């Protein structure tokens, strides 16, 4: 992407479940990169949770992706 996209471009990594190295790499290449975490975070293991903790707070987005992603219940997912 670095060849085709300006480093000042805003980027949104939807439903991010990557590694801390990926967070650091994307953040270095694109300082306006945002990482969104869905309610699937309820199923993350400790490594994945540590990755979320490593995302700068001003680059962390929370998403519902309603109604498609459901955390731990069978109930419908709504943005309410």
Q: What predicted TM-score, i.e. pTM, was given to this entire model?
A: 0.81
Write the CB contacts of 43 (distance below 8 Å, at least 6 apart in sequence). 71, 72
Q: What does each of the 80 residues of the chain score in pLDDT, given as a tens digit?
A: 899 999 999 999 998 999 999 999 999 999 999 999 987 888 889 999 999 999 999 999 988 766 666 666 666 666 66
User: Which structure tokens are listed for 16?
Assistant: 């991010």
Residue 34 pairs in a beta bridge with 12
User: In Å, how far are 11, 15, 58, 69 from 36, measured between CA atoms?
Assistant: 11, 5, 11, 13
β partners of residue 40: none
- At 33, which helix (H) or strand (E)? strand 33-37
Which tokens sit at 67?
Answer: 């109604």
């Amino acid at each position: 992407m670095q060849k085709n996209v300006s480093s000042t471009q805003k980027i949104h990594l939807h439903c991010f479940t990557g590694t801390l190295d990926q967070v650091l790499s994307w953040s270095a290449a694109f300082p306006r990169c945002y990482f969104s975490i869905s309610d699937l975070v309820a199923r993350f293991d400790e490594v994945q949770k540590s990755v979320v903790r490593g995302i700068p707070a001003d680059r962390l987005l929370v998403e519902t992706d309603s109604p498609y992603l459901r955390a731990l219940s069978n109930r419908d997912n709504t943005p309410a």
